[in-house]
Structure 1
Amino acid sequence: MHHRLIAGLTLALAATPALAQDKTLTVYAPDYFGSEWGPGPAIKEAFEAECGCTIDYQTGDLLPRLLLEGERTEADVAIGFDSTEMRKARETGLFAPHGVDTSALTLPIAWDDEVFLPFDWSYLAFVYDNEALKEVPASFEALVNAPDDLRIAIQDPRSSVSGLSLVLWAEEVFGDEAEAKWAELAPKITTVTPGWSESYGLFTEGEVDMVLSYTTSPAYHAIAEEDDTVSAAIFEEGHYMTIELAAQLKGTDDPDLAQQFMRFVTSEAFQSLIPTSNWSYPSALPEAEWPEAFRDIAMPEKAIWLSETEADALRAPAIEAWRQGLSQ
């Protein structure tokens, strides 16, 4: 292209009062999401190429911040809610219908919620080194009855969504016997950490034999580290399913742009990034299009899922059964 034509285009663009790229979408997200190793940067690049706008991630404790700000929030979209938080998030009244056709979703359960849109999911699981641990429990009951020298790390349900999901899982499997089962499992629980990263670090350092994580964790080791020694124990009772969600704020200054992002969440451009950036199953991508390592890892035959109403009702008794069982 001739230099004069470039110069002319530059002047024309400079004279344009408002361009699409001047638009900014403010997205609230957890710290992990916007970090350099999380899915945020790649999603930002892909969406900005489509919308001609800018994504401004504001990261931190997602729901507490929204509860504090209320209708004064500057967020257009919030992404990274765990499904265990749905009831509390919905009760804020801050969110608008997402307007997305959910028929494209490929979750193992039906999903028709008009406000919260899944962008990924996984099953909770106890992960282990398949070269070091030879007797692997094939059920939750077998884990409870395993030898007391088995070393397990879990997360605190009062501070961790994975820990909360664990106690809800135990409540669903054991019912009224949950407290007694926690008491039986207690000698094997080496440590209870505030969050997932602390306990998973103990596992990778060889300090524990098993760690509460996800069925997708082995895929990370296989792809990122070329290490196939990490596996997830699959329990015959089924596995608790966790889902991560996005939602549009009612008070967004640019509802059209927010809607465009919500539609983008279920697009192939977004979904194809999820497996190897967030190390989870994509919510709207057929299994045949998952990376091979994700198709190869063991999958439970049964999904255990609680609606937001059921999870909210079980939350307090499940935590109390865990607390009482571990204190015996």
Structure 2
Amino acid sequence: MKKWLWLACCTLSVLGASAQAKQQLTVYTYQSFVSDWGPGPALSEAFEAQCDCTINWLGLDDGVAILNRLKLEGKRNQADVILGLDTNLIPETQAIGAVQDHQLELPKLAIDWQDQQFIPYDYGYFAFIYNTDILQDKPTSMEQLLNDFKGSVLYQDPRTSTPGQGLMLWLKALYGDDAAQAWNKLQQKTVTVTKGWSEAYGMFLKGEADLVLSYTTSPAYHMVAEQEHRYQALPFSEGHMTQIEVAAISATSQQVELAQQFLNFLLSAPAQQIIATSNWMLPVNPNAELPAAFSSLIQPKALSIEQNTVSQQRKNWIKEWRNAVSQ
């Protein structure tokens, strides 16, 4: 009899503990987002305090790597939220059925937005960053960079990196059918092509190249976090390619309501302030307060390519890049 009472008590204890277990929200994102200096830790602390849940981050190399992971896993993926793709990857992600409608009423945003599956959480412009203490003869246009610049460059692989893909689109927007020649000229100045942003930027900070592909907002990090003003973005007269980073609810999510709460949270002013000052991009919520350093950033002419065109041509343009840089 005592044995049965003991078993019953144990069963009730297990059931009680299970009932009190916190919900888990699994988020696929890129590695720098969840690094110690990225927005992930602060976003976790703020969201978990209001949801009584736990965020399980899965950090991959970059946005393109997230899409590649989704393609590989298919319906076996464990994601509830997919965070870190950009608008150029939306059509491919939708084509494989990886996301579902968010069914949210979005607040007024700093950018025009219509998509019913993805929400934007930050945006920015690609740029080459340089050290003002070292580089004096700096290019003022992409044309000068390719033809006259005598220094060295680091950039990221367009197959695995959203900045690398951004450079590919930048050159395509400017040079069209002549993009292969542009790549060939850039290759002559390139130290290496890295898999993701973090590796390239780290090499640049160690002095391994004169320029690194990053964002117009990157100098804000140095000014705010390090009180350092020597790292600046080069303004190019032709304009700069725009990037809008997005998040969505996975089609396989078993935590849809929690995922919706998280997306709403991402657009709140407190979360947007965290993202702006740790992911170092521009907030989509116009009510987010920004440090004064953001007002000193260059204000580029925005370039873009229609995202369906990118989806249709991305493989061809990557092949064009590979052929050009292998010569």
Q: Same fold (TM over 0.5)?
A: yes
Q: Structure 2 length normalisation: TM-score?
A: 0.86
The within-5 A match list for 1:113-262 is: 113-147=115-149, 149-262=150-263
Report the count of equivalent residues.
Answer: 309
Q: What secondary structure sits across from 2:212 in the alignment? A: strand
CA contact (8 A) 1:127 1:211 kept: yes
Give the Å deviation of 1:124.
Answer: 0.6
Secondary structure, aligned partner of 1:105: coil
Q: Measure, in 2, the Cα distance between the counterparts of 1:191 and 1:65.
A: 24
Distance of 2:26 and 2:324 partners within structure 1:
43
Q: Report the secondary structure of 2:188's partner residue.
A: helix
Alpha-carbon RMSD: 2.4
1:326–1:119 CA distance, 2 compared to 1 (3 A): same
Among residues 98, 102, 110, which one is paired with 2:102 in the alignment? 98
What TM-score, normalized by structure 1, do the two folds share?
A: 0.86
Q: Quote the offset at 1:17 in angstroms.
A: 8.3
Mapped partners of 1:185, 1:63: distance in 2 = 27
Contact 1:272 1:285 in 2 (8 A): no
Question: Partner amino acid for 2:72?
Answer: L
The offset of 1:174, in angstroms, is 1.0
2:5 corresponding residue in structure 1 = none
Q: Within 2, Cα distance between the matches of 1:130 and 1:38?
A: 25
* 1:38 alignment partner in structure 2: 38
For structure 1, the 5+ residue unaligned runs are: 1-13
**Structure 2 CA distance for aligned equivalents of residues 72 and 157 of structure 1:** 26
Q: 2:4 corresponds to which residue?
A: none
Cα separation, 1, equivalents of 2:58 and 2:160: 21
Q: Does structure 1 conserve the Cα–Cα contact (< 8 Å) formed by 2:269 and 2:287?
A: no
Amino acid of the residue matched to residue 299 of structure 1? Q
How far off is 1:161 after superposition?
A: 2.0
8 Å contact kept, 2:29–2:82:
yes
**Which 10-residue stretch deviates more, 173-182 or 216-225?**
173-182
Instruction: Give distance in 2, aligned partners of 1:71 and 1:209.
Output: 44
- The aligned runs of 1:250-289 (5 Å cut-off) are 250-286=251-287, 289=289
- Residue identity in the other structure for 2:110: T
Q: What SS class does the counterpart of residue 79 from structure 1 fall into?
A: strand
* 1:298 lines up with 2:298 in the alignment: yes
Question: Following TM superposition, by how much is the alpha carbon of 1:15 offset from its aligned partner in structure 2, in angstroms?
Answer: 7.7
Preserved CA contact (<8 Å) 2:184 2:325: yes
Mark the runs of 5 or more structure 2 residues left unpaired by the alignment.
1-14
- Amino acid aligned to 2:71: L
Whole-Å Cα distance in 2 between the matches of residues 196 and 76 of structure 1?
25
Code of the aligned partner of 1:71 = K
Distance in 2 between residues matched to 1:32 and 1:138, nearest whole Å: 29
Secondary structure class of the residue paired with 1:99: coil
State the shift of 1:143 in Å. Answer: 1.3
Quickly say closer, same or farther: Cα 1:176–1:117, change in 2 above 3 A. same
Match of 2:83 in 1: 79
Pairwise CA distance, 1:286: 4.6
Aligned counterparts of 2:251 and 2:193: Cα–Cα separation in 1: 38
**Equivalent pair of 1:128/1:231 in contact (CA under 8 Å):** yes
Shift of 1:247: 0.6
CA distance in 2, matches of 1:249, 1:182: 36
In 1, are the aligned partners of 2:224 and 2:291 still within 8 Å (CA)? no
Q: Relative to structure 2, which stretch is displaced further, 278-287 or 123-132?
A: 278-287
User: Do 1:271 and 1:285's aligned partners in 2 also have CA atoms closer than 8 Å?
Assistant: no
Instruction: Give the partner amino acid of 1:290.
Output: L
Q: CA deviation at 1:172?
A: 0.5
How far apart are residue 173 of structure 1 and its match? 0.6
Percent identity over paired residues? 42
Deviates more, 1:58-67 or 1:258-267: 58-67
Q: Aligned pair in 2 of structure 1 residues 315, 25: CA closer, same or farther (>3 Å)?
A: same
Greater Cα offset, 131-140 or 205-214: 131-140
**Do 1:130 and 1:231's aligned partners in 2 also have CA atoms closer than 8 Å?**
yes
